[in-house]
Amino acid sequence: MSEIFGIPTQALFGQLLIGLINGSFYALLSLGLAVIFGLLNIINFAHGAQYMMGAFCAWFLLKKLGLSYWWALVLGPIIVGATGVVIERFMLSKLYKLDHLYGFLLTFGLALVIQGLFRHEFGSTGLPYAIPKSLEGGQNLGFMFLPNYRAWVIAASLTVCLGTWFMIEKTKLGSYLRAATENRELVQAFGINVPRMITLTYGFGVALGAFAGVMAAPIYSVSPLMGGDLIIVVFAVVVIGGMGSIMGSIVTGFVLGILEGLTKVFYPEASNIVIFVVMAIVLMIKPAGLFGTQR
């Protein structure tokens, strides 16, 4: 068996693939953050909590209403996105005139409140959520056993990420968004209801987070803490990719997932800090992030 740095190549392939799976979540979450940051200029610290809400939504739909995973995949983002719309409309929108710090403080506070409420209600161990029947089992790829569900995660995440990228870069709706990112007032003077657009954009960004949450439900425990653990890493991904850069957040998400996967083979103890090390290095060399432009 051939080896690279003392690790069998087969095992290495497996780890690369696993990195890609984790990267799928990073990409989805950082994409949502990037979309929100682009238009609202707000770092949405509630993103982790909203991701967690997506997972709980899936659990709740199954447990209380008997709706399957596939329903949850559609309804979860819509429901959680709607709560995002409410948050923007009645809270965030009041803060645009103030320093961005206030938007951060609000979303951070919301994250703590939401997380606290769920923890109070559901405890911290987590609730079980089964993989949908049609995605059970897996494929033996020779170098590893790839669970079908994980393969689905990669495919779905790539589709949603690229779909979002296409929508923003290539459609009329996206041109509103890009224009409003550059000059919100002027776009408004062209007869476009920008406040509504901002509301819906926030809702959409939140829905992306919730989508990731529904996808995570069968893999990780559905637990109030699941978002808090992940979100710090995702912030690092966004910073590395460049705040507000759509493609940057997608590419960085996947690449860092892989990088983290490899670290787990070569030096597992460092696997939870490797992304932050990369962040520190990138910030030293290119303060605006890999794909970012200085504002």
Q: How far is the CB of 189 from another protein (least distance, A)?
A: 5
SS3 letters across the chain: CCEECCEEHHHHHHHHHHHHHHHHHHHHHHHHHHHHHHHHCCCCCCHHHHHHHHHHHHHHHHHHHCCCHHHHHHHHHHHHHHHHHHHHHHCHHHCCCCCHHHHHHHHHHHHHHHHHHHHHHHCCCCECCCCCHHHCCEEECCCCEEEHHHHHHHHHHHHHHHHHHHHHHHCHHHHHHHHHHHCHHHHHHCCCCHHHHHHHHHHHHHHHHHHHHHHHCCCCCECCCHHHHHHHHHHHHHHHHCCCCHHHHHHHHHHHHHHHHHHHHHCHHHCCCHHHHHHHHHHHHCCCCCCCCCC
Q: How far is the CB of 240 from another protein (least distance, A)?
A: 12
Query: Is residue 144 a contact point for another protein (CB under 8 A)?
Result: yes
Would you state the structure tokens that stand for residue 127, as one six-digit string?
A: 């609730």
Query: Is residue 85 a contact point for another protein (CB under 8 A)?
Result: no
Query: Is residue 2 a contact point for another protein (CB under 8 A)?
Result: no
Which range in 61-69, 82-90, 158-166, 264-272 contacts another protein by CB under 8 A? Answer: 264-272
List the interface residues with another protein, window 174-203 (CB under 8 A): 175-176, 178-179, 181-183, 185-186, 188-195
List the interface residues with another protein, window 39-68 (CB under 8 A): 43, 45
Count, residues near another protein per rule CB under 8 A: 72
> Dmax of the chain from CA atoms?
66
Query: Is residue 219 a contact point for another protein (CB under 8 A)?
Result: yes
List the interface residues with another protein, window 10-29 (CB under 8 A): 10-11, 14-15, 18-19, 21-22
Which of 67, 85, 131, 156 binds another protein (CB under 8 A)? It is 131
Which of 59, 204, 235, 254 binds another protein (CB under 8 A)? It is 235
Query: Is residue 93 a contact point for another protein (CB under 8 A)?
Result: no
Which of 49, 55, 150, 213 binds another protein (CB under 8 A)? It is 150
Query: Is residue 283 a contact point for another protein (CB under 8 A)?
Result: yes
Which C-beta is closer to another protein: that of 79 or that of 238? 238
Which range in 28-36, 55-63, 127-135, 155-163 contacts another protein by CB under 8 A? Answer: 127-135
